[in-house]
Amino acid sequence: MTVVLITGCSSGFGLLAALELARRGDRVFASMRDPARDAALKARAQEDGLDIETLQLDVRDPSSVQQAVAHVHHTAGRIDALVNNAGVGRLGPLEEFDDDELAAVFETNVYGVHRVTREVLPVMRAQGEGVMVNVSSVGGLVAAPFFAVYSASKFALEAMTEALGSELTPLGIRVISICPGPYDTEIAAKGEAPPARHGPDSPYKAEYETVLGRHLAAMKAADKPEEVATAIAHAIHDPATPARVIVPALYEFVAAARGQTPEAELRKALRANYGLEG
């Protein structure tokens, strides 16, 4: 039985991954910042006859991370897989973000992943094996207009994942990045709020609203977030899984564009993709 700790399980990919892994017979510890929000997961688990333990883990709080990881290790005796799923999304003109808004995104998407990883790694090293799955984004491969803050955090996560994978190879620990495209999840909905400095007189207003509209439409069109949960489960259980998995596969062109398209052409293509001229 594989012991799995997942962060950010109150909704979205985390909730779906917890269910998918439990269906496969894994022992799942589904963590979330506010354990009072575990009703949706518990209801789904009960419907499917699945045994999933929920626990409190706020990736922004070192003490919370330490206590949660210690609990899982003490209860199960090991941690075979960690899914760093907790994250936040923000969309808007880079110029209009306040310092604290930028910091809040990095606090969860980058520092939070580091805190949990740092706490779990000694357990996996002692075991001589383990799997770490970081839920990133296609936005961590190519940065579209008005995704600067979110993409910056996911670019950082991609760099961390790539380097960590090399560092842990001799220790028998696999590290995989899962990069979802746009899906209609709660994190995406929360990221729709404009930055603090954005107002009706913003010089970016028209283009920002166009991009936001295109983004919302793309999320609505991708109606199977279960694909990401399946990819996470596959990454944990299949040692042949590549270091980076893009979901859905049709978004693999994004990674290809990054390496094959001149920067000026890439920017033009990204603008056109979101309905912007020039």
User: Which residues lie below 8 Å from residue 145, measured CB to CB, with a gap of 6+?
Assistant: 207, 211, 270, 271, 274, 276
What is the token pair recorded at 188? 């995406």
Q: Are 52 and 18 in contact (CB under 8 A)?
A: yes
> Quick check: 85 and 8 in contact, CB under 8 A?
yes
8 Å CB contact between 151 and 105: no
Q: Which of 111, 150, 183, 204 is labelled catalytic?
A: 150
Q: Is the N-terminal amide bond of 248 cis, ω within 30° of 0?
A: yes
Contacts of 115 (CB under 8 A, 6+ apart): 59, 62, 65
At 225, which amino acid appears?
P
Instruction: Judge whether 155 and 106 are in contact, CB under 8 Å.
Output: no
Question: Is 150 part of the annotated catalytic residue set?
Answer: yes
Which active-site residues does the annotation give?
A: 150
